[in-house]
Amino acid sequence: MTLPLFIIDAFTDRPMTGNPAAVCPLQEWLPVEPMQSVAAEMNLSETVFFVPRRGGQQSETARDFDVRWFTPTREVDMIGHATLAAGHLVLERLHPTAEIARFASPTAELSVRRDARLLQMSMPALVPQQIAEPAGLAAALGAKPAAVFAAKHYLAVFDSVDVVAGLRPDFAAVADLPLPAVIVTAKGEGEFDFVSRFFAPANGVPEDAVSGVAHCCLAPYWAEKLGRSEMKGRQLSSRGGVVLCQYNGKNVLLGGTATIFLEGTIRL
């Protein structure tokens, strides 16, 4: 069996920057084992598979899909940058007349639509609540945060951009924390409202280059702190990326671009 596969860099307009995802469009689902094996073979932070949704809209302007996401080690329940990459493939290559691609899983509904020169992705907001600092968090990160919040993941807030940029976590210790990942953030400087990094070693991803899911938590947090609904974030990974954020009280809208770096076929 041969299948098409693309590597698409998300939240960037230049190849080999932003966050790469492997994108595999299917006509029908494969068993879990070969999908996980493909994700392990690609060894990127995420590989996304999607199929046309039975009973969904399949028109010239809108396309509906069912979606599944895999890290190199496990299936996960919601991923942002890989969905933006899948939306880019649908709207720019597979169905270029469509204006919106909708992706549904048992746990989340996401959409990617054209927005002028950008793509805009809608994701459920993950509103963080302040908690007591968990035992071992500061030691795992290598610095003590000013405050700690939690939603799906920990959100550790620091006082400066330089501290966030300079963190060198103990990934084994981060993986041992009760929640599966840690977002770190600080108020930004210049054109950026905030900066962040995202560590998810328990999911097989020590540091994610540019995380959509992290911004589902960051956008509500910074919207409240800054008193506005539109913000510009910079993720400070080695590849780096920029995410335009809007928060409407229910969903987070993330704006960005993507570019196809590699395309080919795989043999199973």
CA distances from 38 to 22, 32, 70, 124, 176 (A): 9, 10, 9, 27, 26
Q: What are the residue numbers of the active site? A: 46
**Distance of alpha carbon 216 from the chain centroid:** 9
**Residue type present at position 116:** A
Distance between CA 21 and CA 46 in Å, rounded?
5
Show the tokens assigned to 124: 């459920």
DSSP string, 192-242: -SEEEEEEBGGGTBSS-SS-HHHHHHHHHHHHHHHT-SEEEEEE-SSS-EE
* C-alpha closest to that of 35 among 76, 87, 81, 64: 76
Distance between CA 56 and CA 53 in Å, rounded?
5
Residue pair 67/48 in contact by the 8 Å Cβ criterion = yes
Distance between CA 105 and CA 83 in Å, rounded?
11
